[in-house]
Structure 1
Amino acid sequence: MQANYWKNNPVTVSLIAIQVVVFLMMTMMGGSTNTVVLLKFGALNASLVQAGQWWRLITPVFVHIGFAHILINSITLYFIGLYIEQLFGHWRMLVIYFVSAIAGNLLSTFWISNGLSAGASTAIFGLFGAFIMLGVTFRENQAIRMLGRQFLILVVLNIVTDLFVPGIDLAGHLGGLVGGFLAGYAVGAPRLGHVNSVERVLATVVLVLGLLVLFVKVS
């Protein structure tokens, strides 16, 4: 089963491997809680993004602050990636992952004027959003519908927790969630069935316009 996981989920495995390698490099260069090290490896900082360092809308998904942070995100990505990569396919998962990351980090940059944040949670929330999209679109599929509901409950619990825990990037999580939900419609899920063309076009337009508006607001 383990061997099949690595073979059938190359995108998930690669993403986890990259963030682990980055974490080890950060540890060797001064520690993953060191602000200078975090910024050097691409953590999100609104001022630097607005100064033109747009790559920081993507690089934070590979940067984590402390061992507990990378452990939780890696475990979560391991399990949600199993579903998303198999149901959407490899390249579609990759698109959803990075679109969610950009959406989450853009909203975070717009919402939070200063400070520093990092982690794969913006993209992971996007994967949850994509699965919720499957639950809505393929609600006649009992297994997908039930899993979609479970993920929705998990997301709601996480967001409620975010409201009471200081230091959590709620904007990033919400942006990633919505970005992943819309991106799921945009790329479709042919392995499961047909997604309504009108819904796909509408979701794509809303997603693109939303990202453009945030980009303009941030810049």
Structure 2
Amino acid sequence: MFTRTESLKEFIRFYPVITAILLIHLVLYLLTVLPLFPNQWFFELFSGVNLFIMQGEIWRIITPIFMHNGFSHFLFNSFSLVIFGPALEKMIGPIRFTVVYLVTGISANVATLFLEPLTYMHVGSSGAIFGIFGYYISILIRQKHRMAKENKQLLITITVISVIMTFVQPQINVTAHLFGLISGFLIGLLSLQKK
């Protein structure tokens, strides 16, 4: 379930939404590091800055979901999406997966807006990735037959470790991680029928 054995061509065909998100990650990352814009203009325009959102720059609630601060941040979040996203896109379909990903990412950023200082700046897809974890947890409650026992154990372990690391690692948007997880869980509870 969480092991990738597809070729690149198969991955693109089987998981079009994840492929599109990864491509957006890559393009936006390159635009932030290549010397195309002076003084990191592109990064500054599309990162989440609470003060600017409050002043009407609403796009900053969405664009940070796809922006990353540095290569390791970009690589880790993209890798996490490659590992944990495909099974969910296959389970619920590309349209519902897109909705879950965007709604949980936006929820994480809205929570950040209201719970963090006005000067707070944030980027990264981890709120949406935690949303994926939350949705999986709701599947374990509503439709646990859809996952093998070893996948359930792995998912719970990874989720618990990820939540712990949220509080241990420096410069982590704790609010985004927690609200991404909670919103993914709630979306799953509300949209999945118990079987």
> Aligned residue for 2:3?
none
Contact 2:32–2:40 at 8 Å: present in 1 too? no
Q: Decide whether the 8 Å contact of 1:135 with 1:149 is kept in 2.
A: no
Change (3 A) 1:106 1:54: same
Residue matched to 1:203: none
Retained in 2: the 8 A contact 1:92–1:187?
A: no
TM-score by length of 2: 0.87
Question: Identity percentage over the alignment?
Answer: 28
Choose which of 114, 123, 128 in structure 2 pairs with 1:118. Answer: 123
Cα separation, partners in 2 of 1:138 and 1:146, compared to 1, 3 Å: farther
2:181 aligned with 1:170, yes or no?
Answer: no
Question: RMSD of aligned C-alpha atoms?
Answer: 2.0
**Residue 5 in 1 paired to residue 11 in 2?**
yes
Matches within 5 A, 1:174-213: 174-188=178-192, 195-196=193-194
Is this contact kept in 1: 2:131–2:184, CA < 8 A? Answer: yes
Deviation of the 1:148 alpha carbon: 3.6
Aligned to 1:175, the other structure's residue is in SS state helix
1:130 aligns with 2:135: yes
2:48 aligned partner:
44
Indicate the SS of the match to 2:11.
helix
Alignment of 1:55 onto 2:59: yes
Residues 125 and 176 in structure 1, CA contact (< 8 A), matched pair in contact too: yes
Q: Cα distance, 1:62 vs. partner? A: 1.1
For residues 89 and 186 of structure 1, the distance between their equivalents in structure 2, rounded to whole angstroms, comes to 17
Query: Which residue pairs with 1:160 in the alignment?
Result: 164
| Unpaired runs of at least 5, structure 1 | 189-194, 198-219
Q: Deviations over 1:42-90 (max 9, x none)?
A: 1111111111222211110111000000001111101111111001100
Q: Which runs of 5 or more residues in structure 2 are unaligned?
A: 1-5
Larger relative contact order, structure 1 or 2 (CA cutoff 8 Å, min sep 6)? 2
Q: TM-score, normalised by structure 1?
A: 0.78
- 2 CA distance for matches of 1:159 and 1:46? 24
State the Cα distance separating 1:14 from its structure 2 match.
0.4
